[in-house]
Structure formats: structure tokens, C-alpha cells
Structure 1
Amino acid sequence: MIDGFAKDYLHNDLREMREAILWKLEGLSEYDIRRPLTTTGTNLLGLVKHLSLCESRYFGEVFDRPFPESLPRWDNAAERGADMWATEHETRKEIIDRYRRVWEHSDATITALPIDYPGQVPWWPRPNVQLFNILVHVLTETSRHARHADILREQLDNSTGTAAKYATPRHDAAFWEAHRANIERAAKAAVKKSQQLASS
């Protein structure tokens, strides 16, 4: 009983996080979804491309159910990092559609196998796993990148949230300036307090 509940619970959370990732691209220009927004080049469309590779391997190769399309491999030094950004030849539609096809493949694996079904992750120190381990791992990875996407999107247009229905209402510049000033004041006060405690 608990096994079925756990599998459904994790699977539903994974579905929600996938949708959140794609929602972060909605309404943005081609440039904004592709451009590097951190020092290391993190970008929104690259996150989608990366998660496609991640899911396709974990719910595919690990359980001997390979995804039928060719994707970059992270164990090939020549292709390392290629999954984290989109070339000028790759379209938004192509990358998003592939991600959705990966979902279908992953969902078929999750549905077909019991939660304790064994698999092998040769690149892990402890390669023997079960579907449960992989569900938790991929949900964690997807959630982590959804948080990245949330921050990247906030940098672009101040919108936050995990889905359109939960989007944080936008405020004007004066609201955010006052909000940030309040946080800055608290940070400086905390430093001053810690310095006073250290010197006493």
C-alpha cells in the first residue's frame, strides 16, 4: 500500500516540477531564454535541455529501457557541458518537444515498474539502485533546477512562483526598492550586532 502511495506521490511532484520549468520560459524572448544569466552561463533553455538528458538516462539506461533518440552524453569529454545551453541551430520548440517526449518515456518506465525494481547507475559509487532511488534523485534534480529557473526568471522580469496560478503578483519598482532596503538594513544591523558580541 505505502509503495504505491510513495510512487504516485513522487511521480506527481515530478510532473509539477517539470511544468514549472517550462512555465519559466513562457512569454520570454528567444534571447532571454538562451542568454547566460550567471557567471557560469546558466540559462533557462539550457536547463530544459539538461533535464531532458538527465531524465532520459535515469529512467532509460538505468532500467535497460533506453530513450530512443540520440542525446549528448556527459561521459563523453567532447560533449561535456553541451547539455547546458542551446546552440543557434536548436529551436525552442525542438528542445521543449524533446523534453516532453522524455517525460512520456520516463512516465512509461515509472508506470510499468514497481518502486523496488532494480537498476544500475554505473557512474554512481553505489551503482545498485531501485526505482525509488531514481524517482527521488530525478525529482531532487528537477526541483533544484526549477529553483535556478525561478531566480533566473526573477532577474529578467521580477516574476516568481512555480506556476502561473501561483505567480507572485508583480509590484512596482518603489515596492521592491523599499523591500530590498529593509533586508539590507537588517543585514547591516546583524553584522554590527555580531561584531559587538565578538568584542565584548
Structure 2
Amino acid sequence: MLVGWLDYQRETVPAKVEGVTLEDAVRPLVPSGTTLLGLVKHLAYVERYWFRMMFVGQRLPDIWTDPNDPDPEFRIEPGETVDSVVALYRDEVAAARTAIDGANLDRVAVGRPFSLRWILCHMIEETARHLGHMDILRELIDGAVGT
């Protein structure tokens, strides 16, 4: 059931940027500087972090290494596009699904005190919270609401 709820949230993420130009997707519309595409990229990296790096202990490049840049996963780099960031998100979701396939909800992450159940609940909350942010940003961009 928890995976189903997370998948429901996950499936909504790409829809929030569908039909949006790169210019609009990276335009900061709120004082924090948060952007629509930055949120998609952030969600890709938290999928990677919680399921692959934390839960199963995969050694992957850590993007959080610069103490002067606490949020690099929100930054869209030159050459990145709406399609490429959405593809990154979809790839990380697929890898996360593979990482937890068949795992018991009570299984604890490698070297960490977090169960798969806790991680799934956290990711449902994390994804839903940012989908709300994406709703607001999308409405500011072109008036589109909900989905």
C-alpha cells in the first residue's frame, strides 16, 4: 500500500512540467528561488539518496559535498532541459523501485536506523509536499491548476 501511494505521487511529478518551456521551468517565482524544474531534479536526487544510497547502501556520487552550496540538487546546469531532468527523475524512480523490490517493510537501511516503512512514509510526504509547491509555481507560470 505504501509503495502504491508513493507511486501515485511519483506519477504526478512529470505532469507538473508538461508543456512548460525551459525558460519558465527555471524561472524563480518565489523569494526562495525555487523553480519548477529544480523541484523535479531535487525529487530525483532524494529518490537516489533514500532508496539506493541509504536503504541498500549503493556507493554513488554524492552531490552534497560543497558546504557553500547546501542545495545543489535544485540547480539546473547548462545543457539540462525539461526532458533531461524528467528522464533523470524517471530513471531514479525506476532504480528506487528495483532497490526495494521484494524487501520487507521492517527491513532496516544499511548502517542506518531507518526501516523501509519509515523511508516510504518520508518519501510520500516529501514528494507530496513538493507537488504542492509545484502546483503553486505552475499556476504562477501559466494559470494551470491541479492534476
TM surpasses 0.5: yes
Name the % identity. 32
CA–CA distance in structure 1, aligned partners of residues 3 and 15 of structure 2: 19
User: Aligned-pair RMSD on alpha carbons?
Assistant: 1.9
The Cα offsets for residues 86-144 of structure 1, whole Å up to 9 and x where unpaired, read as 122222222111111111111112223111111157xxxxx511100000001100000
Secondary structure at the counterpart of residue 34 of structure 2: coil
Corresponding residue for residue 105 of structure 2: 115
The Cα offsets for residues 10-60 of structure 1, whole Å up to 9 and x where unpaired, read as 211211212212111111111111111110111111001101111101001
Structure 2 residues without counterparts, runs of 5 or longer? none
Q: Given that residues 44 and 88 in structure 2 are in contact (C-alpha distance below 8 angstroms), is that contact kept between their aligned partners in structure 1?
A: yes
Secondary structure at the counterpart of residue 129 of structure 1: coil
Q: Is 2:131 the partner of 1:141?
A: no
The Cα offsets for residues 121-170 of structure 1, whole Å up to 9 and x where unpaired, read as 7xxxxx511100000001100000000000111111221113xxxxxxxx
Q: Are residues 54 and 32 of structure 1, via their aligned partners in 2, closer, same or farther at CA, if it must alter by over 3 Å?
A: same
Secondary structure at the counterpart of residue 86 of structure 2: helix
Corresponding residue for residue 86 of structure 2: 96
Secondary structure at the counterpart of residue 94 of structure 2: helix
Q: Would you say how many aligned residue pairs link Structure 1 and Structure 2?
A: 147
Secondary structure at the counterpart of residue 118 of structure 1: coil
Corresponding residue for residue 45 of structure 1: 37
Q: Given that residues 53 and 71 in structure 1 are in contact (C-alpha distance below 8 angstroms), is that contact kept between their aligned partners in structure 2?
A: no
Q: Is 2:142 the partner of 1:157?
A: yes
Q: Are residues 128 and 42 of structure 1, via their aligned partners in 2, closer, same or farther at CA, if it must alter by over 3 Å?
A: same
Corresponding residue for residue 124 of structure 1: none
Q: If the length of structure 1 is used for normalisation, what is the TM-score?
A: 0.67
Q: Are residues 67 and 103 of structure 1, via their aligned partners in 2, closer, same or farther at CA, if it must alter by over 3 Å?
A: farther
Q: Given that residues 56 and 102 in structure 1 are in contact (C-alpha distance below 8 angstroms), is that contact kept between their aligned partners in structure 2?
A: yes
Secondary structure at the counterpart of residue 109 of structure 2: strand
Q: Are residues 86 and 71 of structure 1, via their aligned partners in 2, closer, same or farther at CA, if it must alter by over 3 Å?
A: farther
Q: Given that residues 115 and 130 in structure 1 are in contact (C-alpha distance below 8 angstroms), is that contact kept between their aligned partners in structure 2?
A: yes
